[in-house]
């Protein structure tokens, strides 16, 4: 990976933010794009937010992007482009938690601080037979304390990279125990409890939502809005949304629009209604349809809607749910 052995705190920070909640295979191409477009924190801080969100499009968890922009501007302007060198100061920056702060301070500045990621949790839980939940406050505190006790403090960066790599290559979710140098002392291996460790708490219940979209077209333009509420897809763009409790067919969608005063009688033509699209988020499952309507005269829409050229649609960052539809209708 290009960030292996990296000493530039900007690139370490960028890679860690991108890889949060993201598989390495997916995050790699985004990392390369960001480094190419924004080679340093000043370049990122100066960039248009619209461009940054477009580059982030498809990565999900957009609060990461929002925090990335905020912190880049703060470091560029307030700290003159210099990242703090110590864990505690890094943790004060927006979007940087204990793990990311430890990664930056350890790899960039060799601060004696353990970096505890999913790989490290797994290695420690199995070798020492720890059944505390790794996603609980108490569990995180316990594992961090143990990792720091074990840390080779004079070679913090090398030690951290080694244990992370060990978890990625040997002590994987399905481990290669026959190659493991700890197989004569590993608690999980000796007690046949590999598949039970590490322990996680139960996931939050899944929320199910029906979110339909209406593509309102008028004289080569389409109506869109930016999501600014405290909800999924914050700051991304969308078409006119019609949320419901269940699947809505063509006539039901039109009825909803009439009730809201968005339709003129005989002043429009329904061009298409899609099949059901869906997207699985961490705690939500989104389903919905897309209805394309051509208007013969400009409709009265909510004030937060704006008109953009249909040719400019791809210049805006949309959530994956909407991009699925757009890609099938290119």
β-pair type (277-280, 237-238) = unpaired
Q: Are 127 and 32 in contact (CB under 8 A)?
A: no
| Residue among 16, 178, 269, 310 flagged as catalytic | 16
- 282 contact partners, CB below 8 Å, separation of at least 6: 21, 61
Q: Of 90, 85, 77, 67, nearest to 45 (Cα)?
A: 77
Active site residue 16: yes
Q: Are 287 and 210 in contact (CB under 8 A)?
A: yes
Which alpha helices (H) appear in the chain, and where do they start and end?
Answer: 9-19, 24-37, 41-46, 49-56, 63-77, 87-90, 98-109, 118-128, 137-150, 156-169, 187-190, 250-259, 320-328
Q: Are 289 and 274 in contact (CB under 8 A)?
A: yes
> Using CB atoms within 10 A of its CB, is residue 179 exposed (0-12), middle (13-18) or buried (19+)?
exposed
Q: Are 79 and 72 in contact (CB under 8 A)?
A: no
Task: Output the six-digit token pair for 74.
Answer: 């703060």
In the Cβ-directed half-sphere of 98, how many Cα atoms lie within 13 Å? 12
* Whole-angstrom distance, CA of residue 147 vs CA of residue 22: 23
Give the residue numbers marked as catalytic. 16
């Amino acid at each position: 990976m290009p960030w292996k052995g990296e000493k530039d705190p900007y690139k370490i920070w960028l890679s860690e933010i991108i890889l949060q909640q993201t598989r390495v295979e997916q995050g790699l191409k985004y990392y390369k794009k960001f480094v190419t477009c924004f080679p340093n924190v000043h370049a990122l801080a100066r960039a248009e937010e619209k461009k940054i969100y477009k580059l982030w499009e498809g990565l999900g968890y957009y609060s990461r992007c929002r925090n990335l922009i905020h912190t880049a501007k703060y470091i560029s302007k307030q700290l003159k482009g210099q990242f703090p060198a110590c864990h505690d100061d890094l943790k004060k920056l927006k979007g940087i938690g204990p793990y990311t702060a430890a990664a930056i301070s350890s790899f960039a500045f060799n601060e004696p601080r353990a970096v505890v990621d999913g790989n490290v949790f797994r290695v420690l839980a199995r070798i020492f037979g720890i059944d505390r939940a790794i996603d609980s406050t108490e569990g995180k505190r316990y594992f961090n304390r143990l990792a720091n006790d074990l840390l080779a403090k004079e070679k913090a960066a090398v030690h951290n990279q080694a244990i992370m790599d060990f978890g990625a290559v040997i002590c994987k979710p399905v481990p290669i125990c026959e190659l493991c140098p700890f197989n004569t002392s590993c608690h999980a291996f000796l007690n046949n409890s590999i598949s039970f460790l590490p322990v996680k708490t139960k996931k939050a219940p899944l929320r199910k939502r029906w979110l339909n979209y209406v593509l309102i077209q008028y004289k080569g333009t389409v109506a869109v809005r930016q999501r600014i509420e405290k909800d999924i897809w914050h700051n991304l763009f969308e078409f006119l949304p019609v949320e419901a409790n269940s699947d809505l067919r063509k006539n039901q969608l039109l009825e909803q629009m009439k009730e809201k005063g968005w339709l003129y009688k005989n002043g429009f033509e329904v061009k298409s209604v899609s099949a059901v699209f869906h997207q699985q988020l961490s705690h939500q499952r989104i389903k919905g349809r897309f209805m394309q309507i051509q208007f013969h005269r400009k409709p009265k829409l909510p004030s937060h809607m704006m008109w953009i050229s249909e040719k400019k649609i791809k210049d805006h960052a949309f959530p994956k749910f909407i991009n699925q539809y757009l890609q099938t209708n290119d």
